[in-house]
Structure 1
Amino acid sequence: MTERIQVNMHEAKSQLSRLAERAGHGNKVVITKAGKPYVDLLPHVDVPRARKPGRLKGNIRMSADFDKPPEDIIDGFEDSL
């Protein structure tokens, strides 16, 4: 089970090795600045993920007139000249 660890910037500077070790073992390490999440510490991934063509097939739809801009937008550009 992964654990979420949240530390402030000062603590992260002084304990970077320990935090990197924990991130490497699957824990989520969040470094905060001024009390708000600022940086996630993640382990390095050697091999990029392989792309899977067509994974969004059926999820993206375009209207038949997607390449025809509305007249008010065209007028806005032409009026600004």
Structure 2
Amino acid sequence: MAAIANIHDAKTNLSKLIERALAGEDVTIARAGKPLVRLVPVQSEQERVDHSQWLGALKGQVWVAPDFDEADAEVEAMFEKGLDKP
């Protein structure tokens, strides 16, 4: 469930809103009904995953056929007429 609080309510209930954000809820702070900011948990260094080390990890181990994206006439026909129609 998403929570939207105006600035005054956010100041009054900041601790509660933080707890809701930590629990995974989408918490937005608004002014005059217009969303301004979102509260989101900060990830610790241990929680962050460095995906850059994975880039290129399978280089030379994966092969893609040159014709992988060519259409198959039989499959195209099934899509055109639908699988449930005779």
Smaller-chain TM-score range?
0.5 to 0.7
Q: Which structure 1 segments of 5+ residues have no match?
A: 55-81
Q: Which of 17, 24, 27 is matched with 2:25 structurally? A: 27
Larger Rg: 2
Question: Deviation per CA, 1:18-65, whole angstroms, max 9, x where unpaired?
Answer: 0000100000000001211101001111033313336xxxxxxxxxxx
Q: TM-score, normalised by structure 2?
A: 0.54
* Secondary structure class of the residue paired with 2:41: coil
Q: Which amino acid aligns with 2:49?
A: R
Q: In structure 2, list runs of 5 or more residues that go unmatched.
A: 57-86
Match of 1:18 in 2: 16
| RMSD of aligned Cα (Å) | 1.4
Amino acid at match of 1:45: Q
Distance between the aligned counterparts of 1:49 and 1:4, measured in 2?
Answer: 27
Tell me the amino acid that sits aligned with residue 2 of structure 2: R
The one of 7, 19, 29 equivalent to 2:5 is: 7
TM-score, length of structure 1 as denominator length: 0.58
